[in-house]
Structure formats: structure tokens, C-alpha cells
Amino acid sequence: MGSSRSRMDDIPHAQQLIHETDFSAAHLLRLHQRFKLLDKYQTGELRPRDFGAIPALALNPIGDRIIGAFFSPGQETLDFPSFVRILAHFRPTDPNRSRDGTQQELANSRTRKLKFAFQLYDQDGDGKISRAELLQVLRAMLETQVVEEQLQSIAERAIQEADLDKDDAISFDEFRRSLEKVNIDHKMSIRFLK
């Protein structure tokens, strides 16, 4: 990785981040290295085009949506703490930590994970996945494999299935319910290397 080794001192708000996200110091260091590598012009902030430079991401059918999810609405840049906070969504849930649920909900809780996924669909941010939004995602994911008609049917079916209040859109609550039986913790977590 980068020529300059990161040290904890270089990382802004390191302790606070560790506390907030539960990442270990080693994780944080590693992520910081990655951050600096992505930040080609050493501005201390990432822009969407920096993400666009990752070759594998260009192949990802919903890559640009995911990039978009890293940037809060209206903002063009991403600093390291936000970067880490977003990635913290994907930490596997720590069974020991989740028991003492008194403190503020961690980023890797089930709801937060689902929220992250939900906002990928909900591009206009109205709190609902409309049919058109669902179709867009489906179209991106399935590319050339299916004809529009099939996409329509799938979307139609998906909305019918999830839509409980019959408003022809999937709200977050409906989204969560439709995935009630899925082990989100397994499906929305990655193992961060030490």
C-alpha cells in the first residue's frame, strides 16, 4: 500500500472514531491507508471521482449508487471520519456488544444496515421506494439479461408483495418487514482484515 505508513497520530479524531464505530486501531490504520491511497491529490477529502478510479467498482452494476451513498446529500466531499462511519455499517455485529443496548445504536445494527441498503433504492429520498426506483435498480442489476417486460413483472410482484399500505411503493418499514426473515447480519457484513 502507500509509501507512507499511517500512524495513529495522523488520523484525525482517532479515539473518538474507535469509540463510535468499534473499529479496532488496526482496522482504523488500515482504512486510513486506504483512504490516503484513494485520495490521489492529498486533499484530505474524497470526491466521487476518486471512487470512480477504482477499477472493480466501475464494473459493479450499482456501483455509482453505492458511491452516492457515501456522500451525504448536497455534499461533494467525504472526509476520513465519515468514510469510516459509512464503512462501519458493514462490520459484523458483535454478539457481546449488542447485549448492552443502552448506548446509542451502532452503525452496524440491523436497522442501520437496512437503512443503508434502503437509501440505495430510494434515490429521491422521499422515504419510499417507488416502482420506478425499484425498476432502475433492477435494470442496473440485471442489465441485458431480461427484457423490460420481465423487469416490470418482477417489480410489480415485489411491490405487491411488500406493499402493505397499498400506496404502490415500499416504505422503509415495509422494506424491513419484507426482509424480516433474512439474516441481515450475515448478508450485510464483511470481514475487515486486521
**Interface ranges with another protein (CB under 8 A):** 1, 30-31, 33-34, 37-38, 51, 54, 56-57, 59-63, 66-67, 70, 87, 90, 92, 95, 116-117, 120-121, 134, 137-138, 141-142, 144-150, 152-154, 156-158, 160-162, 178-179, 181-182, 185-193
Shortest CB 35 distance to another protein, Å: 9
What phi, psi does 129 have (nearest 5°)? -90, 110
Residue 102 or 165: the one with the smaller Cβ distance to another protein is 165
Return d(Cα 133, Cα 141) in angstroms, integer. Answer: 13
Residue 49 or 102: the one with the smaller Cβ distance to another protein is 49
Shortest CB 83 distance to another protein, Å: 9
Residue 14 or 89: the one with the smaller Cβ distance to another protein is 89
* Angle ∠(66,157,109) on CA atoms, nearest 5: 40
Q: Is beta strand 45-46 parallel, antiparallel or unpaired with respect to 78-79?
A: antiparallel
Greatest Cα-to-Cα distance within the chain, rounded to the nearest angstrom: 56
Shortest CB 10 distance to another protein, Å: 17
Return d(Cα 176, Cα 159) in angstroms, integer. Answer: 13
Shortest CB 13 distance to another protein, Å: 19
Residue 102 or 191: the one with the smaller Cβ distance to another protein is 191
For residue 173, the one-letter residue type is D
Q: 171 with 130: CB under 8 angstroms? A: no
Residue with cell 471512487: 51
Shortest CB 182 distance to another protein, Å: 6
Which residue, among 159, 139, 164, has the nearest Cα to 150 in the 3D structure? 139
Residue 14 or 35: the one with the smaller Cβ distance to another protein is 35
Residue 14 or 137: the one with the smaller Cβ distance to another protein is 137
Shortest CB 8 distance to another protein, Å: 18
* Angle ∠(45,188,50) on CA atoms, nearest 5: 20
